[in-house]
Structure 1
Amino acid sequence: MFKHQQPFSGFSVDDAEKAKEFYSAILGLEVIEVPDMQGILKLKLSADSHILIYPKPNHIPATFTILNFPVHDINDAAAALTQLGVKFLIYDEPGFKTDDQGIFHGGGPKIAWFTDPAGNIISILEQND
């Protein structure tokens, strides 16, 4: 039987300091520098859950959503993030269009995408539970 401890995910960035500033100051998450591992960060999601962020010299941004943030009101969340300097991605493709705020209303939860300083894609999505 495969035995493991608490699993976690990770993703790369091209600049750990910019990532630390963005995830802590803009998104309000706790970012912990890993001792003795220069540039390695832990993005704390909950008491027992984190994501590892690591610098990679030849970093290529993810072409898919790496992190999703559920919110109660997507319009309020988008407005708050916009005031902090976040720019939402605008899609205008057949069958896949966002509004001028970058919010997709085409089925399922309302969702909007933006990128971190390394170009990795992140979303906010409306969930009312």
Structure 2
Amino acid sequence: MTNTDITTLVAVHDLDEASDFYESKLHLARFREGPGWIQYRTGRSDLIIYASEESGTNRATTAAWTVDDVASTIEELKSSGVSTFQRYDGLPGATRDGDIHQAGLVKMAWFKDPSGNIFEVNGR
């Protein structure tokens, strides 16, 4: 398994609402789709959203993007309409400045999709 790609599967309440979020706010392009699911390519990875009654039940991070500049990425997401940034005070070894958390050299920010799935953007 060490030489194979991994695909992130994300359960969503409403496929139309979710696809609008992933396409218009995260600027992901549809790669493939079928009844009840849509596949996006992001870097060398795939992210598949699919309709499920179990969506939004994961209270931990679903997936993370590593970017060159966390602050500018957050600003781009905000300008695209992402407004669900999460603030976690009391993370061990981390400080927070607005929506950006920092642990050592790594900066992190989390946001939710319309189904409540949590995603992370991290980098420097």
TM range (shorter): 0.7 to 0.9
| Number of residue pairs the alignment of both structures matches | 120
TM-score using structure 1 length: 0.78
Aligned pair partner of 2:78 in 66, 82, 97: 82
Deviation at 1:80, TM superposition (A): 1.4
Give the equivalent residue in structure 2 for 1:64: 60
Cα distance per residue 1:34-60 (max 9 Å; x no partner): 23x2x21112224x6422211112423
Secondary structure of the residue aligned to 2:58 is coil
| Shift in Å, 1:33 | 5.4
User: Moved runs in structure 1, 4+ residues, more than 6 A?
Assistant: none
**1:94–1:57 CA distance, 2 compared to 1 (3 A):** closer
Secondary structure, counterpart of 2:122 in structure 1: strand
More strand by share: 2
Alignment RMSD: 2.4
Q: Which residue of the partner structure matches residue 99 of structure 1?
A: 97
Amino acid at match of 1:9: T
Check the 8 A contact 2:11/2:54 in 1, yes or no.
Answer: no
Return the offset for 1:11.
1.9
Match of 1:118 among 87, 91, 115: 115
CA contact (8 A) 2:28 2:41 kept: yes
Cα deviation code 1:50-86 (max 9, x no counterpart): 2221111242332121121122111111111112221
CA distance in 2, matches of 1:8, 1:124: 17
Say whether the 8 Å CA contact 2:112–2:119 is kept in structure 1.
Answer: yes
Task: Give the structure-2-normalised TM-score.
Answer: 0.80
Alignment of 1:42-53 (within 5 A): 42-46=39-43, 49-53=45-49
CA displacement, residues 8-48 of structure 1 (integer Å, 9 cap, x when unaligned):
3312011111111111111111124523x2x21112224x6
Gaps of 5+ in 1: none
